[in-house]
Amino acid sequence: MTVKNISIDEFDYPLPEDRIAKYPLAERDASKLLVLKDGKIQDSQFKHIGDFLPPKALLVFNETKVIRARLQFQKETGSHIEIFCLEPEKDYQVAFSSASPVRWKCLVGNSKRWKEGQLKMPLNVNSQEVTLTAERTEKNDQYSEIEFSWNPSELSFASILEAAGEIPLPPYLNRDAEPEDRDRYQTVFARFDGSVAAPTAGLHFTKPLMAQLKSQGFELDEVTLHVGAGTFRPVSTPTIGDHAMHSETIIVRKSLIQNLIKHLDGNIIPVGTTSTRTLESLYWIGMMLHEKGMGLNELHVEQWYPYEDHPDLSAHEALQKLLDYLDLHQLDRLEASTALMIAPPYKMKIITGLITNFHQPKSTLLLLVSALIGSQWKEAYRYALDHGFRFLSYGDSCIFL
Q: Are 116 and 108 in contact (CB under 8 A)?
A: no
Residues 202 and 320 in one domain: yes
The predicted model gives 230-255 an average pLDDT of: 90
pLDDT in tens, 281-321: 999 999 999 999 999 989 999 999 999 999 999 999 999 99
Residues 152 and 251 in one domain: no
The CATH number for 114's domain is 2.40.10
SS (H, E, C) 370-386: HHHHCCHHHHHHHHHHH
Interatomic CA distance for residues 332 and 323, integer angstroms: 9
In 322-395, which ranges are E strands?
Answer: 333-338, 354-357
Range 47-54, long-range pairs (CB < 8 A, 24+ positions): 47/209, 49/209, 49/213, 49/355, 49/397, 49/399, 50/212, 50/213, 50/216, 50/218, 52/399, 52/401, 53/213, 53/218, 53/267, 53/269, 53/399, 54/266, 54/267, 54/269, 54/352, 54/353, 54/401
Residues 279 and 381 in one domain: yes
For residue 297, is it within any domain? yes
Q: Taking the chain, what is the end-to-end CA distance rounded to the nearest angstrom? A: 28
Residues 15 and 127 in one domain: no
- Say which DSSP state 166 is in: B
pLDDT in tens, 117-148: 899 999 999 888 999 999 999 998 788 999 99
The predicted model gives 179-196 an average pLDDT of: 94
pLDDT tier, 163 (very low <50, low <70, confident <90, very high otherwise): very high
pLDDT at 232 over 80: no
Residues 195 and 79 in one domain: no
Q: How many domains is the chain partitioned into structurally?
A: 2
- Say which DSSP state 359 is in: P
For residue 98, is it within any domain? yes
Higher pLDDT: 231 or 197? It is: 197
Average pLDDT across the chain, whole number = 94
Q: Are strands 219-225 and 70-74 parallel, antiparallel or unpaired?
A: unpaired
pLDDT in tens, 74-107: 988 888 999 999 989 878 888 899 999 999 999 9
For residue 175, is it within any domain? no
Task: Among 139, 165, 191, identify where a domain stops.
Answer: 165
For residue 176, is it within any domain? no
Model-wide pTM > 0.75? yes
CA 372 distance to own-chain centroid: 18
For residue 343, is it within any domain? yes
The CATH number for 277's domain is 3.40.1780.10
What's the full length of the chain, in residues?
401
Residues 216 and 132 in one domain: no
pLDDT at 231 over 80: no
Residues 207 and 136 in one domain: no
For residue 170, is it within any domain? no
pLDDT in tens, 373-394: 999 999 999 999 999 999 999 9
- pLDDT score recorded for residue 35: 98
Residues 46 and 139 in one domain: no
Domain residue limits at 130: 70-165
Residues 147 and 246 in one domain: no
pLDDT at 1 over 60: no
HSE of 63, CA atoms in CB hemisphere, 13 A: 12
pLDDT in tens, 324-350: 999 999 999 999 999 999 999 999 999
pLDDT > 90 fraction of the chain, expressed in percent and rounded: 85
- pLDDT score recorded for residue 77: 84
Q: Which of 58, 109, 68, 375 is nearest to 221 (CA)?
A: 58
Interatomic CA distance for residues 252 and 184, integer angstroms: 25
Residues 147 and 231 in one domain: no
Amino acid at 225: L
Residue partners of 26: CB distance under 8 A and separation at least 6: none
